[in-house]
Amino acid sequence: MTDTPVANIAWPSKTGVVTLLFCAGHSFDLLDTWHTSPLDRFAWVALVVWLSPLPFFRLFDRKRELLGCESMVLYAAAVTASLIGQLGCVNAFEHFGLILAVTGLLRWTWRSLIWISAGVSWMPAFGWLASSVAPDQVLTMRVALASVGVAMVISPFTRTSSNAIHTSELKSFVLTGGIVAAVLIGCLWQFAPMGSGESRLLRLPTDGPSFRSWTVPLKEEEEQLLGGSLASRRMYDFSGRRAIVSVVDGGMNRHAVHDPLYCFRGAGYEIRSVRQFPVDGGYAKHVTIARDRKSTDIVYWFSNGQRRHASVINYWWQSTLRRLSLGRSGAEPLLVILQFESPVHDVDSVQQQCEPLFSL
């Protein structure tokens, strides 16, 4: 009986189970992302492929050379990454924490690095990067990367040493205590006072000597994606030049703010051109997108009231630093998007006509 694979199945320790539950709970947003984001809709396929070594080793690693020799270091790193992701509201850290927690189920080898690297294949962050290279092949790249990681981690497992050191009770106790502390910190952090960019959003100019505007209602699915965040959408008429202006404040939910280029690609648009131009306090981007033989000009930027830029990475950094500092690092940046009805040939004229919007 003891020679059968089933009899030698190694289950995770209590510490491993708690770590997995903690990290999986912080990655629960993946379900919503897979449901709503076109470029992430089938990312779960890459996740299934990436997880395949676990049942493989449960069935065939009879000596428990890999499965059953958990890595406490990876568990600790997983909890740390998930906690940082929660405090800073950075999904990528939370997802990476889950990768580390799953990898911690196996004994650490240099091939674990390959498996960890392949784990990013199912993360939304990978879709964001891959969409800028080949938006039509995102799923293929996901599955290919996950498959490479799986092949590298399972092929040589029979050659591994059986002298793995099992975790001690003291290390398990310390890590479990750390997980409990991380849960408490994460729960209390939700109630920490933090200002938002609400007042700046409410100061959005609606009428003036050279322009007028009226409200454009948000769609029901758009309101659901906002998840409690504040947003405004209005049609502006700047002396004959019309544009739909959308402003999103992610102060209450940073995940409601996405990279505009990623959203355009996910909606089936072709990015024809991206040009950066200077504005008061920084720079903005002028993007020309096309779908069904119809092109549209977009201008967008992020603004915290002082600095303006069009880098989603800078936005993530500003937003994360603001949350970790409980609002002391500055105001929440607002995302401002202008979608013009007519072609834009001169961005300088856009800045002059739309100058009131740069007061945000």
**Secondary structure, 3-state, 326-346:** CCCCCCCCEEEEEEECCCCCC
State the Cα–Cα distance between residues 96 and 120, nearest whole angstrom: 7
Model pLDDT for residues 158-190, shown as the tens digit of each residue: 444 443 434 455 566 666 667 667 766 766 666
Buried b (16+ CB within 10 A) or exposed e, 216-229: eeeeeeeeebbeeb
Query: Distance between CA 119 and CA 125 in Å, rounded?
Result: 11
Structure tokens at 198: 């609400």
pLDDT at residue 56, rounded to an integer: 73
Is residue 73's pLDDT more than 90? no
Contact 102, 77 (CB under 8 A): no
Given a cut of 50, whether residue 237 has pLDDT beyond it is: yes
Prediction pTM value: 0.71
- Distance separating alpha carbons of residues 67 and 295, to the nearest angstrom: 54
Query: In the chain, what percentage of residues exceed pLDDT 70?
Result: 82
Is 332 in contact with 197 (CB distance < 8 Å)? yes
Please report, for the chain, the start and end positions of each structural domain, with discontinuous segments joined by +: 6-189, 198-359
Position with higher pLDDT, 4 vs 80: 80
SS3 for 233?
strand
- Exposure string of 113-146, with b = 16+ CB inside 10 Å and e = fewer, is ebbbebbbbbbbebbbebbeeebeebbebbbebb
Q: Is the pLDDT of residue 211 over 80?
A: yes
Predicted confidence at residue 183, as pLDDT, reads 65
